[in-house]
Structure formats: structure tokens, C-alpha cells
Chains A and B, each alone.
Chain A
Amino acid sequence: MKNDNWLDRVRGDLTHAPVEPASEEFYRGIWSLIRRENAAILMSRPGPLAALGTACWRMAPVFASLLLLAALYGWFYPPAAPRRTPPVEWYALDPDRDPTEADLLYETIGAPFDAEFEVTQ
């Protein structure tokens, strides 16, 4: 019974907090705060250029990493040297031989015809 007494007393003291009904001013105040917050959000929103700048700045480490990777790849796997083309006057080695069709085409457009080259040589 004693326990109930002190607990009831605590409950009574805690719950006995009369609160007057909220006034219209209270609700108007909320809307005014919401409008103010909305305006602050709009004001703090960056323009498109600033947003782009920020996005790029944030992506800078990614770009830097990609660049570094590309540089390392280029260092360890350099691009293959351009394939050496046979000299134009190759068939001068065998002046008696008539140039084949492929030889003539090679002279015209400069495209290598390795297979043909090896066979004719």
C-alpha cells in the first residue's frame, strides 16, 4: 500500500500539468516556421553551375584515380610499336619477277599484305 502511495503521488505530480488548448496562434506559428524553413532551403540550394562545380569537385578523387590507373597501365603496357611495312621497292630484289596483283595494290594504297609479301619473297 505504501508503494502504491508514493507511485500514485509521482503519477499525480507528473500528470498534473494542465495545458491550455492550443491557440490559433500556435498553428499559425507552425506554418510560419515551415515557410521560413522552406525559404531557407531554397536559398541554400546552389545554382546549376555551382552544383556542377560541386559535383566535379566531389568526383575529383575518382578522376584522379582513373588518370593514375591509365598512366600506370601505359607505363607497364606501352602501346605496340607500329608494324613495320616492307619497303616499296621490295620487288627490286627480284627484278625479273612480274609484280603480282597484290604487289600493285600495295603500291597503290600502301596497305601491307604480309602473307602475299612472304609468299612472293
Chain B
Amino acid sequence: MTDSDCPDDELVERTRGGDDQAFELLMRRHAEPIRRLIARYCRNRSMVDDLAQETFVKAYFRLGSFRNESPFIYWLKQVAIRLCIDEMRRRKVRGGEEETIDSVAERMSGPDQRERAESRMALNKVLGPLSPVDRMVLVLLYGEGYGVGEVAGLTGLSGANVKVRAFRLRRRLRALYGGEFS
């Protein structure tokens, strides 16, 4: 079995034993899903790589607390989610940078990029006033496609709490988007 076929658990064990090469493999394997999750959560693009790097650094030093009960990527996402929420709380306090339609459109490809950028900005307007946790619930439910139970496990909230937050979010989003389709 080559290193690239090696299961995560084994790579984690090897990292714990001091094999940094194993951690490099873990990083390369899971960098994209983590960066994608963070990108869905943060409006500020410059934060994505910083938070993703911080996630892996934290994971490296806290590998001892990973107990093979769930897949490694699930644990890694928990670390990323906590970091994102903390960072968003800090930014809410001191006021973060806002995206402009042009900066969003710049990153989008295709003929309707301006229209999609506007749509994305509309969503940003909804996301803006949301609490960091509500925002994460929204991203996990509709962006990542997780179920209520999984969102509860990832965020540390209770299932009932996730349901309540999801209900309020749906109502808010329906008000935003529903007008256009009704």
C-alpha cells in the first residue's frame, strides 16, 4: 500500500509518532474541503487561506484529542468551524471588510457572472446581520448539505437548537428570495 492509499487513521497515528510526512499527506488530502467550507462561510477571501492554515496548525497540535470515533475530516471540520465562528465574532466586534459586487464578479466565471455576483451580494446582505453561529448553520445545512444531526455534531449545538435556528433562517431567506419567485 502506497502512502497515498493509506487511511487517515493510520496517517494520524504516524503523525502522532513524529512522522511529519504523514501530516503533509493529510493536509494535501483534506485542504480542499476545508478551504471550500471556509470560503462558503467567509465573505472576505483573504481570510480563507489564513483560516485554513490555522485549522491545520491547530489540528497538528491537537491531534492528541482526536479519538478515531469519527472520520478525521469530520474532526478537522469541527476545528475549522470553531475557528471560523471565533474569527467572525472578533470581526463583528471590530468591523470586518465588506465585499463589493465587482470583487465578487471578478472571481466568478461565465456569461452571467454579474448577475450571479448580484445574487451572491443579496445573500451576503442576509448573512451579514446573522450571528456567527446562525451563519455556520446555514452554510452547513445548505452549502455543505449536512443533516440536522450532523450539523449539531459539528457545531456542538443540540439538535433542537439547530432545528430552531434553521427554521428562523428559512423564514428569513424565504422573505429575501421568495419575493422574486412569487
Interface residues in chain A, defined as those with a beta carbon under 8 Å from any beta carbon in chain B: 2-3, 5-7, 9-19, 21-22, 26-27, 29-31, 33-34, 37
Contact = CB atoms under 8 A, between A and B. Distances in A.
A45 to B, nearest CB: 14
Interface in B167-182: 173-174, 176-178, 180-182
B88 interface: no
Interface residues of B, number: 39
B86 interface: no
B27 interface: yes
A26 B49 contact: yes
- Name A's interface SS: helix
Contacts of B48: 19
Contact of A27 (B27, B116, B139, B142): B27
14 contacts: A2-B178, A6-B173, A6-B177, A9-B119, A9-B177, A15-B143, A18-B109, A19-B39, A22-B31, A26-B31, A26-B53, A30-B53, A30-B60, A34-B57
B40 to A, nearest CB: 5
Nearest to B35: A19
B33 to A, nearest CB: 10
Interface of B: 20, 24, 27-28, 31-32, 35-36, 39-40, 48-49, 52-54, 56-57, 60-61, 107-109, 116, 119-120, 122-123, 138-139, 142-143, 173-174, 176-178, 180-182
A21 B178 CA distance: 34
A31 B138 CA distance: 32
A87 B110 CA distance: 117
B116 A16 contact: yes
A5 B181 contact: yes
Contacts of B174: 3, 6
Contacts of B60: 30, 34
B182 A17 contact: no
